[in-house]
Amino acid sequence: MYHHLFGPVPSRRLGVSLGIDLTPDTSCTFNCVYCECGKTERLTRERREYVPTADVIAELRACLSAAPFLDSITFSGSGEPTLHSGIGEIIAFLKDEYPQYRVTVLTNSSLLDTEDVRAELLRADLVIPSLDAISDPVFRKVNRPLPGITSASIINGVRAFCAEFTGAVWIEIFIVPGINDTAEELELFKTTLQTLRFDRVQLNTLDRPGAVSWIVPVPAARLEEIARSLGGGVELVATRRDSRALPTSDVLVRDLVLSTIQVRPCTAADLATVTGLPASDIETCVQDLLARGLAESKMEERGLFYFARTGMRTAR
């Protein structure tokens, strides 16, 4: 059982993704209304070794020595991964020892205005920086940041990073209906995006329960309308799951299901995707976890979600 790795989980855009969680105590610079992981426990911008870097590297070595099939090794997890002062060392380890794997960093962009942080991410293959607002009042409503972090500092950091990084950049905008999709804000997005170097812009919407109850998913037609208004290069984060099955012959299905829902709530269809098992087997497995008190369920717009009772959280 790993403490700092999770999954592989089915990612809507990354495929089969092995997650690395560097901030298990849910430390983040933001407290986003849409966070799948609930309320931020520790609002901070202190960079430190939240978990021992050597332990993360040891777990990665143990896991990757079996040469698992993965589309991505992804820094995401329970908070903002760039808060961890060892992220650069871990990325360097992966690229030196396992260059065949794509390394992805999901970041809320709040530390990209720091030269050291930008330098530490340079060896990643793909960075997905969030940019959820351009105007400061909208930024505060959506991301609810630590005092002192402004939309200007986010934009400046993203701009500097995009200019320095030679890998792929997919800017993510999480649409919170009625807050950051007004005509005025979309116009600001359009003019700001024209000043940035990126490979894609992806619009995201609620897929799992957020941190507040009032946030709802944006209908696909509205997302497409927003994408058109922002101009070329803007796409939607697919809601359809990657149907590729994982090899499960040497994995206990129940452990896999439990470790998956410890990271984030999943429907039975999500779990079928990650394990490659028929829905009936998943049903048996989750019923067993429910009966043992290891899991709970909650009905949401997309269906019945299962989550571990002592679950962690994961970003985006």
Residues binding ligand SF4 (CB under 6 A) = 28, 30-32, 35, 37, 40, 79-80, 108, 315-316
Least distance (Å) from ligand SF4 to the CB of residue 51? 16
Nearer to ligand SF4, 80 or 120 (CB): 80
The 3 state secondary structure assigned to the chain is CCCCEEEEEEECCCEEEEEECCCCCCEECCCCCCCCCCCCCEECCCCECCCCHHHHHHHHHHHHCCCCCCCEEEECCCCCHHHECCHHHHHHHHHHHCCCCCEEEEECCCCCCCHHHHHHHCCCCEEEEECCCCCHHHHHHHHCCCCCCCHHHHHHHHHHHHHHCCCEEEEEEECCCCCCCCHHHHHHHHHHHCCCCCCEEEEECCCCCCCCCCCCCCCHHHHHHHHHHHCCCEEECCCCCCCCCCCCCCCCHHHHHHHHHHHCCECHHHHHHHHCCCHHHHHHHHHHHHHCCCEEEEEECCEEEEEECCCCCCCC
Q: Which long-range contacts (CB under 8 A, 24 or more apart) does 44-49 make?
A: 44/83, 44/146, 45/83, 45/110, 45/111, 45/146, 45/148, 45/149, 46/83, 47/82, 47/83, 47/84, 47/85, 47/111, 47/117, 48/83, 48/84, 48/85, 49/84, 49/85, 49/86
Q: For ligand SF4, which is the closer residue by CB, 11 or 31? A: 31
The distance of closest approach from Cβ of residue 228 to ligand SF4 in the complex, given in angstroms and rounded to an integer, is 26
CB closer to ligand SF4 out of 41 and 224: 41
Find the shortest distance in angstroms from Cβ 30 to ligand SF4.
4
**Nearest residue (CB) to ligand SF4, 71 versus 80:** 80
CB of 55: closest distance to ligand SF4 in angstroms? 21
Distances (CA, A) of 124 to 79, 87, 118, 257: 19, 10, 11, 29
Q: Which lies closer to ligand SF4 via its Cβ, residue 20 or residue 315? A: 315
Comparison of 175 and 286: residue with beta carbon closer to ligand SF4: 175
Rounded to a whole number of angstroms, the minimum distance from the CB of residue 197 to ligand SF4 is: 22
CB of 300 to ligand SF4, least distance (A): 17
Shortest distance (Å) from residue 276 CB to ligand SF4: 28
Residue (23 or 53) nearer to ligand SF4, CB: 23
Q: Which is nearer to ligand SF4, 176 or 285 (CB)?
A: 176
**From the CB of 157, what's the least distance to ligand SF4, in Å?**
14
Shortest Å distance, C-beta 146 to ligand SF4? 11
Cβ proximity to ligand SF4, 40 vs 275, nearer residue: 40
